[in-house]
Structures are given as C-alpha cells and as structure tokens.
Amino acid sequence: MAFLDNFGKKMSQVAQTAMEKSKDLAENAKLNLAIAAEEREIEKAYKQMGEWYFNNYGDNCDPSQAETTAKIKASLAKIEELRAQLDAEDGTPAAEKTGKTCPTCGEKVEEDSKFCPACGAQLQK
C-alpha cells in the first residue's frame, strides 16, 4: 500500500510540475506579447520623431544625420522618378488624371476619351 501511495504522490507531483510549466509558458507568452506591443509603440514613436526631424531639419541637419537624410532624399527622388514612369507608361499625364472619371468603374480617364481604358464602358461626352 505504501508503494501505491508513493506512486500516487509522485504522479500528482509530475502532473503538478507539468501544470506549472504550462502555466509558466502561457504567462511567458503573454509577457512576450506585451513586450512586443511596447516595442511596436516605440518604433512608431521613433518613426514619428524621424519624420518630424526630417521635415524640420532635413535641409539643415546635424552632420551625424547627413547620411540618413541623404538616403531619404534619394529615395524620395527615386519615387518621383518611378511615378513619372508610371504616368508615362499608361500615357496619361498626372495632371490630366484628376478630371473625369468612369461612371462604371471609377477609373480616372482622359477628358476626351470615348471608352474607359480600364473596363471598356462607353463614356458620355
């Protein structure tokens, strides 16, 4: 009987330990999620701070930031260049895209086109 008692005790100890371990794991997962959430908040704030700095001091920044602001400026210039290519490829200058839109699909269309280039709907004059 003593053997069975001990066996029972050992088993419940094992179960207890396993339960505590899984509780620890769940607790750790919760804590890690909370840490990750705070880290995201910091990243958001850093990004805001960086944007503010670039907008206010991009042209007159601390020398230690010159390389980073130059990178941003290069990327902004590249984006402008790529957007110009997009406009050139669909044959519609950006300025003309703001006026008329297709009543069927909402695509911006050139003022004088008879059909929507996106959905083919006939356009009123």
Which residues of this protein are in contact with Zn ion, per CB under 5 A?
102, 104-105, 107, 116, 118-119, 121
Contacts of 113 (CB under 8 A, 6+ apart): 123
Instruction: Report angle CA 57, 63, 68 to the nearest 5 degrees.
Output: 70
Least CB distance to Zn ion at residue 96 (A) = 16
Residue among 12 and 104 whose Cβ is closer to Zn ion: 104
Least CB distance to Zn ion at residue 106 (A) = 7
Residue among 61 and 123 whose Cβ is closer to Zn ion: 123
Residue among 72 and 118 whose Cβ is closer to Zn ion: 118
Least CB distance to Zn ion at residue 125 (A) = 16
